[in-house]
Amino acid sequence: MRVSAKICGVSTPEAIDASIRGCASHVGFVFFPPSPRNVGFDRVAALAVRVPDGVHRVGVFVDPDDALLDTAIAAGRLDVLQLHKTDPGRAAAIRSRTGRELWGTVAVKRREDLNAAQSWRGAADRILYDARTPDDATLPGGMGMRFDWKLLQGFAHPLPWLLSGGLDAGNVATAIGISGALMVDVSSGVESAPGVKDVDKIAAFCKAVEQC
């Protein structure tokens, strides 16, 4: 099966266009002010119209309230909601209320962390496995951290899933080979500086995924 890619934290027309040229299946818009990738509603509205049919718009949130979700969904024409640090019960309510595809995040450092995936059964459509960040970290992801991909080997995933955390063009093929991922998510690995997407790195990442 072909592996698909999500380019996350896009905030410029150039990054959108590079993702589309690279055949990304998903582009991610971050709605979290502490993040250098945060997009305002006016900016995301202008970016969303550049995304063609067949490429999914993902809104990335950290325990959002309903008002933020509703405004972001409308402005960004969001197809998918990716939630960090959100209780599965709350996520299930969001999924039911909005009618959007929902991704729950599982932060991983040790094998036992994967057990949290079971709590997303019935609450999410897909699980995103990401590296666990330090407890005092400002951001829940997008910090270039990765976990041991071998932890995913032999694990009985309760839902479809994707791999995130510290991926780039140089290691994504290895990550896919070890973990068995059929979808991968990249943010800092295609940047020249925090929040600044590099179109050449996006192209290289997409090419590496396409060759898997």
* Catalytic sites, residue numbers: 8, 130
Give the span between the Cα atoms of 152 and 89, in whole angstroms. 25
Q: Is 38 exposed, middle or buried (0-12, 13-18, 19+ CB in 10 A)?
A: middle
Tokens 């059964």 locate to 121
Residue 135 in contact with residue 108, Cβ under 8 Å? no
Residue 145: how many other CB atoms lie within 10 Å: 18
Query: Phi, psi (5° rounding) for residue 162?
Result: -140, 160
**DSSP string covering 8-60:** ES--SHHHHHHHHHTT-SEEEEE--TTSTTB--HHHHHHHHTTSPTTSEEEEE
